[in-house]
Amino acid sequence: MTTAHVTCPLCEATCGLEVTLDENQQVTRVKGDEKDVFSKGYICPKGASLGALHHDPDRLAAPLLKRDGEFVEVSWQEAYDEIDRRLPPILEQHGRDAVAVYAGNPGVHNIALTLYGRVLYKALGTKNFYSATSVDQMPKHFSAGAMFGDPLAIPVPDLDRTKHLLILGANPLVSNGSLMTAPDIRGRLRGIRNRGGKIVVVDPRRTRTAAFADEHHAIRPGTDALLLFALLNVLFAENLVQPGRLEAHLNGLDDVRELARPFTPEAVAPRTGIDAAAIRRMARELTADNAVVYGRIGTTTQAFGTVASWLVDVLNVLTGNLDEPGGAMFPLAACQPTGNRRPFAVGRWRSRVRGYPEVVGELPVATLADEIETPGDGQVRALITVSGNPCLSTPNAGRLAAALERLDFMISVDVYLNETSRQADVILPGPSPLERPHFDLAFYQLSVRNVANWTPATLPTELPQEWETMLRLTGIVTGQGPEADVAALDDFVAAETARRNGLAVTGDRTGPARLVDLLLRAGPYDVTLADLEAAPHGMDFGPLKPRIPEVLCTASGRIELAPEPIVADVPRLCAELERPLDDGLVLIGRRHLSSNNSWMHNLEPLIRGGNRCTVLVHPEDASRLGLTDGALASVTSRAGKLEVPVEVTDEVRPGVVSIPHGWGHDVDGSRTRVARANPGVNSNLVADETLLDVPSGTSVLNGIPVEVAPV
Ligand SMILES: Nc1nc2c(c(=O)[nH]1)N[C@H]1C(S)=C(S)[C@@H](COP(=O)(O)OP(=O)(O)OC[C@H]3O[C@@H](n4cnc5c(=O)[nH]c(N)nc54)[C@H](O)[C@@H]3O)O[C@H]1N2
Ligand SMILES: Nc1nc2c(c(=O)[nH]1)N[C@H]1C(S)=C(S)[C@@H](COP(=O)(O)OP(=O)(O)OC[C@H]3O[C@@H](n4cnc5c(=O)[nH]c(N)nc54)[C@H](O)[C@@H]3O)O[C@H]1N2
Ligand code: SF4
Ligand SMILES: [Mo]
């Protein structure tokens, strides 16, 4: 028996786990690592299923090549030969933009894909870069970029010291936290209570987090920006604005005061569904010391995602809670992002068909189908998906799935043959989480405590590491063919990383380990990878510290409270105040503790407990529409239609229905036996790809107008 200490790569919480293996290298137990400096023994059902994931017989063990419509296992050589035969001619004949990339969420939890994916994407040089970010947190990058100058400078709630937490559109007791890396959310929320603090949740559904909170406001979906503006309006009206130390670092305070003027509590109350007196009280409570506002995916994947994300931080600034202990703070990761911090810019190019502006180097995935379907110069003819399942996770998924069939060539770098990769011509699999080293480059930048933990690979693997796969593909798209010298490419990447950080490459490490070592050496804590290797339970660099002004990289060197590209969207919100009240049904999503977006439904331990893919309907709506608990209902939107079992519950507010995303596994040609037997329905069949948060191009996945009827 052996025991390994690993950081769980399955969500943002970065829990330390203890994995026990028998002499046959079978995982016999996974438990929380009590000595982990950050998670202290916490584990959730997903982490506990790391063994099931590792041993899943459906996980791909060799590359797959489609021959006459059927996948066959081939050698890596054959797979790359096929790619070399088919991809470069498309680039040569139709240009770089003819090849699109879709990068999915697990790539952010995978150092090989994070560090070497960017090498491939840069070498490819396509404007058609898409990712899960435009169905997720892009509005937050937008607001951070516009306000602080750096799209990665996202302040996080200082959870362990706050005494008043206002949560909008997040359910961290289930999601385990997002844009807020914090293992054991329940323990940390309890800590707020024990300090005599208060938790307020704004969510159309009485989630676990809402039920745990001291106060819950069931807001109408998509109206958070109105509510947040009204909170500001109250602060100005009651003379409660007190930015404190930050006053010297602000631009645009008067502009914000003017912008907030129309949004009185009375004006927004009927639209948000939260009464004016409650709004006034919520605003006053934010002026307490150690208060913080936190907004997550319910506030980003909606019609006013960017404005809402911006207002969250404006409120934190104006209540004196930004960059203060107990407020919203900027983590300082052991590996900081590299590259020159140029002032934030958007719209450097536009999508060809709909003219959507580029944001942080990407285009909205909502328009990928347009780009594939519409002929002309720059039409997308090939697609590389890297750890993504857009056929389940992006809006109007039915249309996208049909569009993929029209591609001349498609590659999926993926561990399963699933709803998306089945459309590929070549699938390149990667090792399991236990077969690769791990380091949470992205999430330590969002962590409520500055920590770092390096995980070496627990088990050997026959599969190439995914950084090598990325470099092989880089070799092909740069015309070096499948025989490109991967070691030389890797040396080049390391030399570039070193140069940008003013360091020299030393030692005999290769791959991500060498890059992480360089980034650590360049980082703020005077540690090397060897130090982390000697600390299997992680290193703790302490609580978050104030970082303003050092963290700011706006052109002015100040916080831009009223940045032009966001202010430009406020008239669209003002128009909402004039619109007649609409009482049609709207659809929102939800997450379950035992699932991970679309891709962990193939694990028996996570699928137990009955069908979770139902539509939640309030009893009043159910009786009005003739819907009965357990019976099937049809849900129809502009984009499509689906049928799903009804669950009648007063958890959701009237006028709101909820279906989780990531289901719909009953498609032909996938090889996920457990998931196919428990398919659920794909909620993104009804998500409307034409509904976007305008500045950021993020899809509206919450607040989709739908009709629901008995089947
Ligand atoms: N309606 C609705 N839609 C949503 C959301 C919502 O709330 N509502 N949420 C959105 C959000 S927040 C996100 S992040 C996206 C997620 O969207 P995606 O990133 O597109 O989807 P995932 O379900 O994360 O699927 C990831 C894919 O990566 C593969 N994979 C897993 N591990 C690895 C690995 O180690 N290597 C490789 N190469 N592949 C791997 C899986 O097999 C799967 O095919 O979905 C979005 N879609
Ligand atoms: N178990 C589990 N954990 C996960 C994931 C998973 O699939 N399963 N996915 C991971 C990923 S990729 C992400 S991005 C994070 C997301 O992490 P969270 O943001 O915490 O995710 P959700 O649970 O979807 O919470 C969003 C909440 O917003 C509410 N909501 C919907 N519309 C609105 C609205 O208009 N206004 C307001 N105020 N609220 C609204 C929903 O009811 C829901 O409770 O979770 C991560 N963790
Ligand atoms: S909370 Fe997240 S990091 Fe922790 S065990 Fe669960 S999935 Fe893994
Ligand atoms: Mo996400």
94-137 pLDDT, tens digit each: 999 999 999 999 999 999 999 999 999 999 999 999 999 999 99
pLDDT at 583: 85
Go through the chain and tell me how many residues it has.
711
Query: What is the whole-number distance in angstroms between the Cα of residue 177 and the centre of ligand 2?
Result: 9
Query: First CA to last CA across the chain, in angstroms?
Result: 54
Determine the Cα–Cα distance for residues 341 and 591; give it in Å rounded to an integer.
Answer: 35
For residue 464, pLDDT over 70 is answered with yes
pLDDT at 113: 98
Question: Which residue bears the tokens 């995980």?
Answer: 455
Q: What is the pLDDT of residues 408-425, one digit of tens each?
A: 999 999 999 999 999 999
Average pLDDT for residues 521-535, to the nearest whole number? 97
What are the E-state strand segments in 93-195? 99-103, 129-131, 156-157, 164-168
Phi-psi region of 646 (alpha: psi -120 to 50; beta: other; left: phi over 0): beta
Partners of 71 in the beta sheet?
66
Percent of the chain exceeding pLDDT 70 equals 99
pLDDT at 338: 62
Determine the Cα–Cα distance for residues 493 and 116; give it in Å rounded to an integer.
Answer: 8
State which of 362, 365, 597, 600 you would mutate to test the pocket of ligand 1, scoring each by most atoms of that ligand within 8 A of its C-beta: 597
The CATH number of 1-55 is 3.30.200.210
Considering the chain, tell me which residue range(s) the CATH 3.30.200.210 domain(s) occupy: 1-55
Residue 46 Cβ contacting ligand 3 at under 6 Å? yes
The number of the ligand 2 atom at minimal distance from the alpha carbon of 207 is 44
Q: Which residues contact 200 (CB under 8 A, 6 or more apart)?
A: 164, 165, 166, 167, 213, 214, 215, 216, 217, 282, 285
Nearest ligand for residue 179 CA: 2
Under 8 Å between Cβ of 268 and 234: no
Residue 465 Cβ contacting ligand 1 at under 6 Å? no
Tell me which residue of 633, 641, 614 sits closest to 704, measured CA to CA.
641
Q: What is the DSSP letter of 632?
A: E
Considering the chain, tell me which residue range(s) the CATH 2.40.40.20 domain(s) occupy: 582-710
pLDDT range class, residue 378, cuts 50, 70, 90: very high
pLDDT at 59: 98
Under 8 Å between Cβ of 683 and 597: no
Tell me which residue of 2, 128, 137, 19 sits closest to 433, measured CA to CA.
19
For helices 466-477 and 511-522, what crossing angle results, to 10°? Answer: 100
648, amino acid identity:
V
pLDDT at 341: 66
Q: What is the pLDDT of residues 342-357, one digit of tens each?
A: 778 899 999 999 999 9
Query: What is the whole-number distance in angstroms between the Cα of residue 660 and the centre of ligand 2?
Result: 10
Query: What mean pLDDT is reported for the chain?
Result: 97
State which of 415, 423, 586, 685 you would mutate to test the pocket of ligand 1, scoring each by most atoms of that ligand within 8 A of its C-beta: 415
574 C-beta neighbours (distance < 10 Å), count: 13
The number of the ligand 2 atom at minimal distance from the alpha carbon of 595 is 8
Residue 9 Cβ contacting ligand 1 at under 6 Å? no
For helices 224-237 and 253-260, what crossing angle results, to 10°? Answer: 110
**How many CA atoms, within 13 angstroms, populate the side-chain half-sphere of residue 31?**
8
Q: Which CATH number fits domain 582-710: 2.40.40.20, 2.60.40.1180, 3.90.1150.170, 3.50.50.60?
A: 2.40.40.20
Query: What is the whole-number distance in angstroms between the Cα of residue 567 and the centre of ligand 1?
Result: 32
Residue 387 Cβ contacting ligand 1 at under 6 Å? yes
Partners of 357 in the beta sheet?
350
Determine the Cα–Cα distance for residues 259 and 241; give it in Å rounded to an integer.
Answer: 15
Strands 707-710 and 27-32: unpaired
- Ion ligand 4: residues, Cβ under 5 Å: 136
Nearest ligand for residue 305 CA: 2
Q: What is the DSSP letter of 669?
A: T
Q: Which residue has the higher pLDDT, 16 or 581?
A: 16
**How many CA atoms, within 13 angstroms, populate the side-chain half-sphere of residue 453?**
26
Considering the chain, tell me which residue range(s) the CATH 3.40.228.10 domain(s) occupy: 151-334+566-573
Q: What is the DSSP letter of 447?
A: B
Under 8 Å between Cβ of 52 and 194: no
571 CA to centre of own chain: 28
Query: What is the whole-number distance in angstroms between the Cα of residue 598 and the centre of ligand 2?
Result: 14
For residue 554, pLDDT over 70 is answered with yes
The number of the ligand 3 atom at minimal distance from the alpha carbon of 45 is 6
pTM here is 0.98
Considering the chain, tell me which residue range(s) the CATH 3.40.50.740 domain(s) occupy: 64-102+116-136+342-428
Core vs surface per residue 446-466: b (16+ CB within 10 A) or e: bbbbbbbbbbebbbeeebbbb
The number of the ligand 2 atom at minimal distance from the alpha carbon of 592 is 1
Determine the Cα–Cα distance for residues 602 and 384; give it in Å rounded to an integer.
Answer: 23
- Run of H or E residues at 543: strand 539-543
pLDDT at 38: 98
For residue 187, pLDDT over 60 is answered with yes
Q: Look up residue 522 and give its two tokens.
A: 């360049």
Under 8 Å between Cβ of 616 and 647: yes
pLDDT range class, residue 233, cuts 50, 70, 90: very high
For residue 171, pLDDT over 90 is answered with yes
Query: What is the whole-number distance in angstroms between the Cα of residue 408 and the centre of ligand 1?
Result: 24
The number of the ligand 1 atom at minimal distance from the alpha carbon of 390 is 20
Query: What is the whole-number distance in angstroms between the Cα of residue 592 and the centre of ligand 1?
Result: 15
Phi, psi of 459 (to 5 degrees): -125, 150
Nearest ligand for residue 32 CA: 3
The CATH number of 151-334+566-573 is 3.40.228.10
Closest Cα to atom 8 of ligand 3:
47
Q: What is the side-by-side order of every strand in the sheet holding 164-168? A: 215-217, 198-202, 164-168, 291-295
For residue 195, pLDDT over 80 is answered with yes
List C-alpha distances in Å: 28 to 2, 23, 25, 49, 322. 10, 10, 9, 11, 45
Query: What is the whole-number distance in angstroms between the Cα of residue 14 and the centre of ligand 3?
Result: 6
State which of 110, 174, 217, 595 you would mutate to test the pocket of ligand 2, scoring each by most atoms of that ligand within 8 A of its C-beta: 174
Query: What is the whole-number distance in angstroms between the Cα of residue 51 and the centre of ligand 3?
Result: 13
Closest Cα to atom 4 of ligand 3:
15
31, amino acid identity:
K
pLDDT at 339: 54
Strands 64-67 and 70-73: antiparallel
Q: Which residues line ligand 2 (CB under 6 A)?
A: 11, 105, 136, 168-172, 174-176, 178, 202-205, 207, 219, 221-222, 224, 296-299, 302, 588-593, 595-597, 702-703
Determine the Cα–Cα distance for residues 427 and 436; give it in Å rounded to an integer.
Answer: 19
The number of the ligand 3 atom at minimal distance from the alpha carbon of 46 is 7
pLDDT at 343: 75
Residue 49 Cβ contacting ligand 3 at under 6 Å? no
Determine the Cα–Cα distance for residues 564 and 547; give it in Å rounded to an integer.
Answer: 24
516, amino acid identity:
V
Helices (H), 184-242: 185-194, 208-212, 224-237
Nearest ligand for residue 174 CA: 2
Query: What is the whole-number distance in angstroms between the Cα of residue 182 and the centre of ligand 1?
Result: 21
611 CA to centre of own chain: 25
pLDDT at 340: 54
State which of 178, 205, 226 you would mutate to test the pocket of ligand 2, scoring each by most atoms of that ligand within 8 A of its C-beta: 178
Average pLDDT for residues 502-531, to the nearest whole number? 96
Determine the Cα–Cα distance for residues 453 and 533; give it in Å rounded to an integer.
Answer: 8
What CATH class has 64-102+116-136+342-428?
Answer: alpha beta
Burial of 354 (0-12, 13-18, 19+ CB in 10 A): middle
Partners of 647 in the beta sheet?
616
Residue 11 Cβ contacting ligand 3 at under 6 Å? yes
pLDDT at 169: 98
73 C-beta neighbours (distance < 10 Å), count: 12
Query: What is the whole-number distance in angstroms between the Cα of residue 104 and the centre of ligand 1?
Result: 5
State which of 15, 444, 600 you would mutate to test the pocket of ligand 3, scoring each by most atoms of that ligand within 8 A of its C-beta: 15
Determine the Cα–Cα distance for residues 270 and 226; give it in Å rounded to an integer.
Answer: 11
For residue 381, pLDDT over 80 is answered with yes
Question: Which residue bears the tokens 């609409």?
Answer: 582
